[in-house]
Chain A
Amino acid sequence: MARFLLKRLFSATLTLFAVSVFTFLMFFALPRDPVSSICSKNCNPERLERVRDDLGLNDPLISQYAGYMKGIVTGRDLGSAQGGRCDAPCLGWSYVTNEAVSDTIARVLPVTLSIVIPAAILWLLLGVGLGMISALRRGTWLDRAAIGFSLTGASLQLYFVGAVLLMVFVYNLRLLPVPSYTSLFDNPAKWASGLVLAWVALAFLFSAIYARLSRAQMLETLSEDFVRTARAKGLAKPKVYGRHALRAAITPVVTIAGLDVGGALGGTVITETTFGIQGLGRTAVDAVRSGDLPTIMATVLIAAVFVVLANVLVDLLYAAIDPRVRLR
């Protein structure tokens, strides 16, 4: 177990390293001078040169990369123009927003978490529940309705669903305020009412995919011998279906869920754009538009960290769910 974890974490680190190198090369190979987009027209050449020096753009690429990595691990000193000392998870200084990138991230990360975590709980419960029920009631109207729901949901686009939800609940019925983020700890009611549309939109689309997947898996499991054996030796239906069958059927769902949740935590770009909420995804989009390199780097890296960690977690969960899986 410990050995497996070590091995897995090592390969995860390797992946993250590769992502960071790739992103770094991609953005620093930009033909556009990252500085000129920061300074508007009336920017004198001296200041331009100083900024370039502060950002370390005159150093060779390798030492730029090494400096960046050192900043993440131990923190580093950026020039006085960049807020001086930058502490341990130092992601650099943004000349566009004029603050340390780690501060920006610390501000927008809770927003994305507040969108994704409740939505993920909702879509997993709804999706797996619906899939299970329709597999157990195969061929009934309930099954057909569930299939119809998942087929429709899987083909709908988030921005369209989001736009319709906004139109109905915010602009026409005026039941909900225009979506916005308030901290959960300041005002839970406002937190929920500001984000509920985003949860519903995400959960609707994702649960469609999960319902479909878990229905297929459940049907396959129900036809297996061990389920019949369990029924034959007199175990109650809820126990057979809930404990034995569900456990075997859910493994592929866990894999997909890990990827989806990990990916979504890295920024729900479309959701945040549709509802106008400033989370990690919107920040990344804004950073790309304004050529804010340190922020782009940081958002891509964080998204990669989430995906990679989610994958490690999925591997561990596998062992917990399915005793046939041995971690080596």
Chain B
Amino acid sequence: MKKTKITAAGLTFAAALAGGSAVFAADTVNAAFFLEWATPNQIAKVDKAYDKAMGVDVNWVDFSTGVAMTEAMLSGDIDISYSQGLAPFVTAIQQGAPIKMVGIAVVYEANNCFVRNGLGITSSNATELEGKTVAVPLNTMADFAFKSYMNHLNVDMAKMTIVDQAPADGAKSLADGAVDMACIFGGASAKAAGEVGTPIMTKAEKVAAGIGSFDVISVTEKFATENPDLLRTFMEVTEESNRAWTGSDAQVTKVAADAGMDFETTKAQMADFIFPTAAEQIATFFNKNGIAAQAAASLGLLYSNDSDGAMIAKTLDGSYLK
């Protein structure tokens, strides 16, 4: 009997500790980011500019998927997700997660799907992909890009063998000839896939077809309500580091070290990135029926037929950019 009492007391104590950490949450802000995804604000991150400006410790945790970021935000371990993919954000909203989009981290060319060299398949004869095998990391932005390409090029996805592979594995399988096309995100993996394959759509074709992607800055509703000043400063520092970005070698070296990539890959990756200013974001992304709302709505429909775009649009909030 005595033993049970002690256990019960222990549990209560553990619960109190767990609950207690939430009360102190404002002393440290927990932010999520991706490795292999170079952004100018990593300079601010390394220089502790965020910590200085916000007056609290910013604890950066690296994640491998946007879904994991959502899970961590729901469990209260992460307050801000920097550069979460639009796809995991939208699926989280569809499941009623109390998070919202407060900014655009990076606008980039849609992830590439590499066709193995030697197959002779380009955008002009893309229907030859029917019957072929494709490696796709399912439910990611690369998957979104893949579906957009196939829809645009009128390729029947039901006739392809789709293999769920992480980008690194997909690049390897493409090189081994196990798959005929691999859709890839991440700098190092894309570089490896580019060695043995060619993107199904060129940069210009993608722009013409209106296929693009962007990553978002998402926060928990709780953090945004309780610490609007911290969030505003976070966005401000992000904006400043984006504006201070010149692409100089010193800057790239710093970002490369933090992103876990080599200098050349980082430079190549960032060359394709656009970091919209706060004013641009307000004017073109967060306005009514802006790019953010439209992209989120069409992406939502891709994953679930009864997805409501107007509902997703309610979770977009550009007010912290001002």
Whether both chains belong to one complex is answered with no
B-side residues, CB < 8 A to A, are none
